[in-house]
Amino acid sequence: MVDIDNLKKINDGYGHIEGDYVIRIIGKIIKNSLRENDYAGRVGGDEFLFFINDEKSKDIFKIIYRIKENLKIENENNNKDYNISFSYGILRYDSDLYDDIDEYFNEIDKKMYKNKKLKDFNSVTKD
């Protein structure tokens, strides 16, 4: 699962048309970073979910790396006053572990927000 960082700030500072632009860019980058047999979709708001045929656990990290690299190129090439970034959560789906899909989504959402908090913590600078 991917969550766009600071979309509310973009919407508030630059308007909802700009926020919609960011959503479209992230969606395009995710789609172009996945392999042919992977699936991605917008869950709502600023969240995207993708499923990969995970034959090797490191495949997901290769995809996350591609998304980050493609987003880095986008940020370098656009003339915006902000950088687009995202947080993510990774969780292998196992039907034996989850009674329903909502339980799975709840767990992956927790992982994503844990990643977001770590990013926020790591970005704090000392005065």
Where in the sequence numbering do the catalytic residues fall?
A: 46
Q: Which residues contact 52 (CB under 8 A, 6 or more apart)?
A: 34, 35, 38, 39, 59, 60, 63
Specify the amino acid at residue 106: N
Token pair belonging to 71: 């987003």
Phi, psi of 73 (to 5 degrees): -65, -45
Give one DSSP letter per residue of 22-46, joined into a string.
HHHHHHHHHHHHS-TT-EEEEEETT
